[in-house]
Amino acid sequence: MSAALEVRSVYARRGAIEVLRGVSLDVAPGRICALMGTSGAGKTTMLRAIAALGPFDSGSIVVDGFALAPGAVPPESRLRVLRRSVGMVFQAQSLFEHLSVLDNVTLALVHALRWTRERAESEALALLTTLGVSHRASALPRQLSGGEAQRVAIARALAPDPTLLLLDEPTSALDPARRASLGEVLRALAAEGHGLLVSTHDVDFAEGFADRVAILSGGVVVEEGPPREVLSNSTHADTRALLRSPSAEPRV
C-alpha cells in the first residue's frame, strides 16, 4: 500500500528564521503518527505546508500520490486533488460561527463535492453519531463545549473522506477524560484506513494512541519510532525536556 504521506527533506523559512531544516517523515494508511516537539519546534509550520496553507522552500511533500512543489502556495484551482485527500482539524477549532453543526459538516459536501442536500445530511448525521455529537446537530458552534466543538471539527474534516487527516494540537483544550475518548475516536478512524498526523506535546496521549512518534527539534526530526521506544529510552535532550514538562501544558 502506498504511503498516505511522504515528507522528504523539507526546508521552510519564516522571515529570517529557518523553521524546518530537512524534515522527513511518513504516515501509512491506517496509522497514527504523533509529531512532537516543544512550542515553536515547527510542528504547525509542517502541518500547514502539508495542507498547502503555507509555503516550503525545498524538499518534497507527497500526499496520496499528489506531489506538492516547493515555493509559494499554488492557487486553489491547482489543489483540487490535494484538497480531496487531506483534511485538517485546526487548533482553535475554527468552526463556521454562523452555521449550525450540521451545516458546518455538510458545507463541503454540498458545495465542493456537489452532493444533494439529503445525501450530505445523512452522511453528516452518520459521522456526528459516530463521534457522539449527533444530538447537537442543530446547535451553533458558540453553544458547544470544547470537547463537542473538537468532535464537530473532526466530523467536518472527515466528511469529504480524506486519505490523510491532520490534527493540530487536538488535546490542548481537553481534560484527561475527554483526551482519552478523543484517542479512541482517532483509533477508530485509523482502523477505517485513514492516515493520521497529530501534532502534540502531550506525551501520555502519544504514548497511549499513536503508532509512531516523530520528535521535531531545531527544524529536524531527531528521533522517530514506536512511542514506547522513543519516549521511554530517549537519550535526546529535547525529548527528555518534553517528557519532563507536564503533559497537559496548554499552549499559549
Partner 1 sequence: MALAAVLVTACARTGDSRPPLRWGGDAEGGAPFVEADPADPSHVRGFDVEIASMLARGLHREPVFVQVAWASIEASVERGDFAIGMSGVEDRPELRAQHSVSVPYYEFREVLAVRPADSAKFRRLGDLARRRVATLGGTGAYEMLLGEQARSGLVPISYDDDVHPYSDLVAGRVDAVLLDNIIAERSLRRTGGFYIQPVPVATGHYVAVLAKRDSALRDTVNTILRARMRDGSLEKSFRAWNVWDDSEARYFARALADTAHGAGTGAHPADRSIRAYLPALLRAAVVTLVLSCLAMALAVAVGIGVAAGRVYGSRIIRAPLALYVEVVRGTPVLLQLFVLYYGLSAFVRLPAFLAAVLGLGLNYAAYESEIYRAALQAIPRSQLEAGRTLGLSEAQILRLVRGPQALRLALAPMTNDFVALLKDSSLVSVITVVELTKQTAIYATNIGSWVVPGMLCALIYLAMSLPLSRLARRLERRWRAA
**Judged by CB under 8 A, which of 39, 65, 71, 111 binds partner 1?**
111
Residues belonging to the chain: 252
**Judged by CB under 8 A, which of 28, 62, 113, 125 binds partner 1?**
113
User: Exposed, middle or buried by CB within 10 Å (0-12, 13-18, 19+), for 160?
Assistant: middle
How far apart (Å, rounded) are the C-alpha atoms in residues 190 and 209? 10
Q: Which stretch binds partner 1 (CB under 8 A): 152-160, 183-191, 209-217, 218-226?
A: 152-160
- Please report the beta strands in the chain, taking only residues with DSSP state E, as ranges in sequence order: 5-14, 17-27, 32-36, 58-63, 66-68, 86-89, 164-168, 195-200, 212-217, 220-225
**Judged by CB under 8 A, which of 83, 178, 187, 251 binds partner 1?**
83
The β-bridge partners of 68 are 61
Window 202 to 221, contacts with partner 1 (CB under 8 A): none
* Site membership for partner 1, residue 96 (CB under 8 A): yes
- The grid cell for 81 is 486533488
Query: How many CA atoms lie less than 13 Å away from 148 in the CB half-sphere?
Result: 16
User: Exposed, middle or buried by CB within 10 Å (0-12, 13-18, 19+), for 63?
Assistant: buried
Give the per-residue contact string, 36-75, with partner 1 (x = CB under 8 A; - = no): ---------------x-x----------------------
How far apart (Å, rounded) are the C-alpha atoms in residues 103 and 156? 9
Residue 177 CB, shortest distance to partner 1, in Å, is: 26
- The grid cell for 41 is 519546534
Residue number, 53 or 237, with CB nearest to partner 1: 53
Residues contacting partner 1: total by CB under 8 A: 27
* Site membership for partner 1, residue 80 (CB under 8 A): yes
**Judged by CB under 8 A, which of 72, 98, 118, 246 binds partner 1?**
98
Measure Cα distances from 219 to 17, 90, 144, 170, 230 in Å.
10, 21, 36, 21, 18
Q: Positive or negative CA dihedral for 181, 184, 186, 192?
A: negative
Q: Which stretch binds partner 1 (CB under 8 A): 31-39, 63-71, 103-111, 176-184?
A: 103-111
**Judged by CB under 8 A, which of 86, 154, 182, 189 binds partner 1?**
86
Task: Classify 250 as helix, strand or coil.
Answer: coil
Q: Which stretch binds partner 1 (CB under 8 A): 3-11, 17-25, 57-65, 83-91?
A: 83-91
**Judged by CB under 8 A, which of 108, 149, 213, 214 binds partner 1?**
108
Residue number, 127 or 159, with CB nearest to partner 1: 159
Number of Cβ within 10 Å of residue 25's Cβ equals: 20
Which residues contribute to the site for partner 1 (CB under 8 A)? 51, 53, 76-77, 80, 83-84, 86-88, 90, 92, 94-98, 107-108, 111-113, 140, 156-157, 159-160
